[in-house]
Structure 1
Amino acid sequence: MKTILAFSIAAWSLFGMTSASFASDPENTLYLHLTSGRVVIEMRPDLAPRHVARIKELVRKGFYDKVVFHRVIAGFMAQTGDPTGTGMGGSGQNLKAEFSPPSKARHERGAVSMARAQSPNSADSQFFICFAPTSFLDGKYTIWGQVIEGMEHVDAIKKGDEHQNGTVDTPDHILSLKVAADVKEQGEK
């Protein structure tokens, strides 16, 4: 009986836990709640410490809750973080670029990166999640995270009109975005 119990516990430990359970640091893990489900993002302070600190500050203020995905291009990315929903707004505090060389980080499927204007130091609160590898962005946009669970929910975000640069009519929105360390129960959905 003890052997069966031990085996059951070991099997649950290996197979029953989600990848979010393996997130090494709840302080650097985000829970992005969408209408289709939860997305878990592992933040990368080793790559972009100022961006991660700013994202956590905004998340803890509830800045991203109910914000729409205003620009979504199939096969490319889903962009959010503008409280006006137009793609022109932000928090009002620009960040200095923290570009990573491709040897350290790439814009692969699930990469989370800051949107910006022409100036490399114009990132604010808007970010995007890559649907597919986009190597032409490597070294030009600050990568600050990676989706480690729930990419199927990112894939389900309503796509925009490709003839209007991905602008979305009646866009999907973020229900809530939380730092995992601030969530009372780590398994919260």
Structure 2
Amino acid sequence: MAEYKDPENTILLELKNGTVVIELLPDVAPKHSERMKELARSGAYDGVVFHRVISGFMAQTGDVKNGKDPMMMRHAGTGGSDLPDLPAEFSKLPHDRGTIGAARSANPNSANSQFFINFSDNNFLNGQYTVYGRVTSGMDLVDAIAVGEPPADPDLMVSVKVAADV
């Protein structure tokens, strides 16, 4: 088993070609970090598609309501979880390559379950979206996620686990 600096705040995101390791930042965004762990532990993220993937920008996933059922796939990106929305936890952390940001509607306090992984430094997002994690290993796997809005043959999160539980 691999060693992690803080297994309780490390997410193992299994893709078709391997595992992406994400370090959560509970000191910066405690509510968002806790939500990701809660949804991972419940299995809600398992099998959810990457519904919006823009080359050179980001890969978005986490619609646990509409992102699994093929009949609902056209609505992927419009839902969240049954849990309440989260208040914004903006910080001075930049949206650099590999950071995890909370997806939301126009309302800054509407983040729920969806998140995105930045393919590049997207500093125009700074101060507008909550940064609550960063990829520490497996960014090459993220770079290989099928592109599209939505992708014709979307990649999915095979499983999402908290390292402390594995």
Q: TM-score, length-normalised on structure 1? A: 0.80
Q: Name 1:14's counterpart in structure 2.
A: none
Which of 77, 91, 115 pairs up with 2:81? 91
CA RMSD of aligned residues (A): 1.3
> Which runs of 5 or more residues in structure 2 are unaligned?
68-75
When you count helix as a share of all residues, which structure comes out higher?
A: 1
Higher relative contact order (CA 8 A, sep 6+): 2
> Which runs of 5 or more residues in structure 1 are unaligned?
1-16, 161-165, 184-189
1:175 matches 2:158: yes
Q: Is the 8 A contact 1:36 1:156 kept in 2?
A: no
When you count strand as a share of all residues, which structure comes out higher?
A: 2
Alpha-carbon distance between aligned partners in 2 of 1:170 and 1:89, rounded to the nearest angstrom: 20
- 1:142-157 paired onto structure 2 within 5 Å: 142-157=130-145
Which of 109, 112, 125 pairs up with 1:121? 109
Instruction: Give the C-alpha shift of residue 32 in structure 1.
Output: 0.4
How many residue pairs get aligned? The number is 156
Structure of higher CA gyration radius: 1
Alpha-carbon distance between aligned partners in 1 of 2:159 and 2:48, rounded to the nearest angstrom: 9
Q: Name 1:33's counterpart in structure 2.
A: 14
Runs of 4 or more above 6 Å deviation: none
Instruction: Give the C-alpha shift of residue 24 in structure 1.
Output: 1.5
Deviation digits for residues 6-47 of structure 1 (CA, Å, limit 9, x no counterpart): xxxxxxxxxxx9xx63x3210000100000111000000011
- 1:1-189 paired onto structure 2 within 5 Å: 21=3, 23-83=4-64, 84-85=66-67, 86-92=76-82, 93-101=84-92, 105-160=93-148, 166-183=149-166
Deviation digits for residues 59-111 of structure 1 (CA, Å, limit 9, x no counterpart): 1000100000000000000000013131101103200000012xxx1111100
Q: Name 2:71's counterpart in structure 1.
A: none
